[in-house]
Every structure is written in C-alpha cells, then in structure tokens.
Amino acid sequence: MAKLKIVKYGDDTLRKTCRPVDTITPRVLTLLDDMVETMRAADGCGLAAPQVGILRRIAVVEVEPGEVYEMINPKIIARAGTQEESEGCLSLPGKWGTTRRPMHVTVRYTNRKGEVVEASGSGLLARAFCHEIDHLDGVLFIDNALNVIED
C-alpha cells in the first residue's frame, strides 16, 4: 500500500465528473487500499478518487474505526430528514462550513468483490457518504455551504 498525494482546492481535477468503473481490476483494488491508507494518514473520514487525481467513481468512508466502506460506482438511492453540521475536506485544508445534508441516506455501490450492496447511515456517516459522492460529480462542500470559515 502507498500513501497518495491529496489534490488541493484550485486543481481542476476536483471539478470534473468521474467516469464509472466497468471492471474491478487489480489496479482498482490497489487504489482502494491506497485510498484507505491515505485517508487514515490524513485523519479524514472519507476520500474520493478525484482527491488523489483519479477521475473514477470510487470513494472510501470510515467514520467508525475499522468499519470501512469501499464504494465503487456509489449512488444515493434514498434520503430522509435534514441536518446542519460543520464540514471540512482534506482537499480544502483549513476551511470549514456548515452544510445542510440529509440526516439518513442509503447508498448502493459495488464492493471490491464485485457485489452490489446497500449501506445506510445517519448523522456523520450520512454526511460522509454525501460528501464523497459529491466529489465524484465535481461538487465541493463549499458549493453548498451555508457559511465558510477559515482556520
């Protein structure tokens, strides 16, 4: 596994729409492993492929230690409720903002074994799912933040 370089705000890669993954190759599996390592090394709770310069629909989320969601071609299929909470991003160090996100979401994605699975989350997990999936469409949290604060 390798720690990857995180792309920072201002890089055009963060504003592009990612392509779907058609086949799970050894390269995709290595990318998942490297993204988890990179996310953990940066003390994040999520990381999307464009944040490491790769325009593919891949994201990882880990809100609870050891409970990692490795998502290939993720899509939100259900949302309910609302929450307004502070949010940051590894690609925008030092920036925080209050965002309005669903309180509960269900996500459908393909896992590393090629299985289509669904995962539901509330609170921080729901926010992390939404945040990372937004990245895959070139959307940053500051685009919808109610306010943005710099450290």
Residue 138's contacts (CB-CB under 8 Å, 6 or more residues apart) are: 14, 15, 16, 17, 50
Instruction: Please pick, among 62, 70, 87, 132, the residue that the annotation labels catalytic.
Output: 132
b/e map of 85-112 (b: 16 or more CB within 10 Å)? eebbbbbbeebbbebebbbbbbbebbee
Contact assessment for residue 40 and residue 2, using Cβ atoms and an 8 Å cutoff: no
Contact assessment for residue 46 and residue 126, using Cβ atoms and an 8 Å cutoff: no
Tell me the C-alpha distance between 65 and 82, whole Å. Answer: 25
CA–chain centroid gap for 147, Å, is: 21
- To the query of whether residue 84 is one of the catalytic residues in this protein, the response is no
Q: What does each C-alpha distance from 16 to 45, 114, 143 come to in angstroms?
A: 22, 25, 14
State the catalytic residues: 132
